[in-house]
A and B are shown apart, each in its own frame.
Chain A
Amino acid sequence: MRSVRLLAILASSAALSAAGCVASRGSAPRVSKPVTSSTDFSRGAVFDKITADELDQLTNAYADRYRTLVEDAVDVVLRGNGDARQRAVAQRMLVASTTSVYDIVTNGDPFTQVLDLTVVVTLTSQVWIDADRATREFGEDRARSLITALRRAREEIWEIAARVFSPDQLSALDFLIAGWRKDNPTVDDVYFVRFNDFNESRGQSFVAEAGAGGGLFEPIDRAVDQAKSYERLIERMFYLSKRAPMLVGWQSQAVMDDVLAKPEVGRTLGNLDSVTKSVDALSKTADRLATDIPELLARERRTLLEEIDRRQTAIDGTLVQVKAVVDSIAPITEQVQLIAGTGERMLDKVAELRGPVPPPDPDAPPAKPFDPADYQRLLAEASTALREANTLAAQGESLAASPAVKGLIDEVTKATQERIDSVEEASRRVIWQLGAVLAGVALLVFALAVVYREIGRRGMRGGA
Chain B
Amino acid sequence: MRCNRNRNPHGTPDAATFSRRSALALLTLPAVLPSALAAATSLLSRSAVAQETPMPSGVAVPPADVDATPYPNYIEEPAVRGTVRCVGSSAVGLLINAIRPGFTESQPDIAVEMISSGSSSGPKALADGTCDLAPMSRDMRASEIEAVEKARGDTVDAIDIAVDAIAIGVHVKNPLTRITLRDLDRVFGRERRRGGAPAVKWSDLGVTDAPIADRSITLFGMGAGTGSNGIVQEIVLQGGPFRTSVNEEPVSSSVVQAVATDASAIGYCSVLFESVRVRNLEIESLDGSGFVAPTDAHIRAGRYPLARTLRLYYLRGALAKSPAVRKFLQFLVSQDGQEAIEDMRQKTLTPASARMMFDKLGADPTK
Enumerate chain A interface residues (CB-CB to B < 8 A).
Answer: 41-44, 122, 125-126, 129-132, 147-148, 151, 154-155, 158-159, 161-162, 166-179, 182-183, 199, 201-202, 205-206, 209, 214-215
Contacts and interface: CB of A to CB of B under 8 A. Distances in A.
Contact of B250 (A130, A132, A158, A179): A158
Nearest to A159: B250
Contacts of A151: 257-258, 261
Contacts of A199: 98
Contacts of A215: 116-117
A166 B257 contact: no
A182 B342 CA distance: 12
Instruction: With a 10 A CB-CB cut-off, give which of A147, A176, A209 has the most chain B CB atoms.
Output: A209
B345 A172 contact: no
A201 B98 CA distance: 6
B27 interface: no
A174 B344 contact: no
B149 interface: no
A202 B116 contact: no
Contacts of B261: 129, 147-148, 151
Instruction: With a 10 A CB-CB cut-off, give which of A129, A171, A174, A175 has the most chain B CB atoms.
Output: A171
Interface in B71-129: 89-91, 93-94, 97-98, 100-101, 114-119
21 contacts: A42-B247, A131-B276, A151-B261, A166-B117, A168-B117, A168-B118, A169-B90, A169-B116, A172-B93, A173-B251, A174-B251, A174-B254, A177-B253, A178-B253, A178-B272, A183-B345, A202-B94, A202-B98, A206-B90, A206-B94, A214-B115
A42 B272 CA distance: 21
Contacts of A201: 97-98, 100-101
Given A168-B91, A201-B98, A132 B277 contact: yes
B94 A175 contact: yes
Given A168-B90, A171-B226, A209 B250 contact: no
A175 B89 CA distance: 13
A129 B90 contact: no
A168 B116 contact: yes
Contact of B344 (A122, A170, A179): A179
7 A-B pairs closest in CB distance: A172-B90, A130-B275, A174-B251, A41-B250, A168-B118, A205-B97, A42-B248
Contact of A171 (B97, B252, B274): B252
Given A130-B277, A182-B345, A209-B115, A155 B254 contact: yes
A126 B275 CA distance: 8
B256 interface: yes
Contacts of A177: 253
Contacts of B252: 171, 174, 178
B322 to A, nearest CB: 22
A170 B119 CA distance: 13
Contact of A175 (B91, B117, B118): B91
B45 to A, nearest CB: 27
B196 interface: no
Interface in B210-233: 223-226
Given A155-B254, A167-B223, A201-B101, A175 B272 contact: yes
B273 interface: yes
Contacts of B117: 166, 168, 214-215
Nearest to B227: A171
Contact of A130 (B115, B118, B249, B260): B260
Interface string B142-184: 0000000000000000000000000000000000000000000
A248 B277 CA distance: 35
Contacts of A155: 254
Contacts of B256: 130
A208 B336 CA distance: 25
Nearest to A200: B101
Nearest to A204: B97
B339 to A, nearest CB: 15
Given A126-B275, A172-B116, 4 more contacts: A44-B224, A158-B254, A171-B251, A214-B117
Instruction: With a 10 A CB-CB cut-off, give which of A130, A206, A209, A214 has the most chain B CB atoms.
Output: A130
Contacts of A179: 344-345
B83 to A, nearest CB: 16
A434 to B, nearest CB: 47
Nearest to B252: A174
Instruction: With a 10 A CB-CB cut-off, give which of A148, A154, A168, A206 has the most chain B CB atoms.
Output: A168
A195 to B, nearest CB: 14
Contact of A174 (B100, B101, B253): B253
B344 A206 contact: no
A40 to B, nearest CB: 9
A56 B247 CA distance: 29
Contacts of A130: 256-257, 260, 274-278
Contacts of A161: 250
Given A168-B117, A168-B119, A201-B98, A162 B250 contact: yes
A206 B93 CA distance: 9
A131 B115 CA distance: 34
A248 B89 CA distance: 45
A126 B90 contact: no
Nearest to B272: A178
Contacts of A43: 248
Contacts of B251: 41, 158, 170-171, 173-174
A118 to B, nearest CB: 10
Given A129-B260, A201-B97, A206 B226 contact: no
Given A42-B223, A167-B226, A122 B253 contact: yes
Contacts of A206: 90, 94, 97, 116
A126 to B, nearest CB: 7
B91 A171 contact: yes
Contacts of B254: 154-155, 158, 174
Interface in B292-317: none
Given A172-B93, A178-B253, A129 B275 contact: yes
Interface string B238-264: 000000000111111110111011000
Given A178-B345, A202-B344, A125 B257 contact: yes
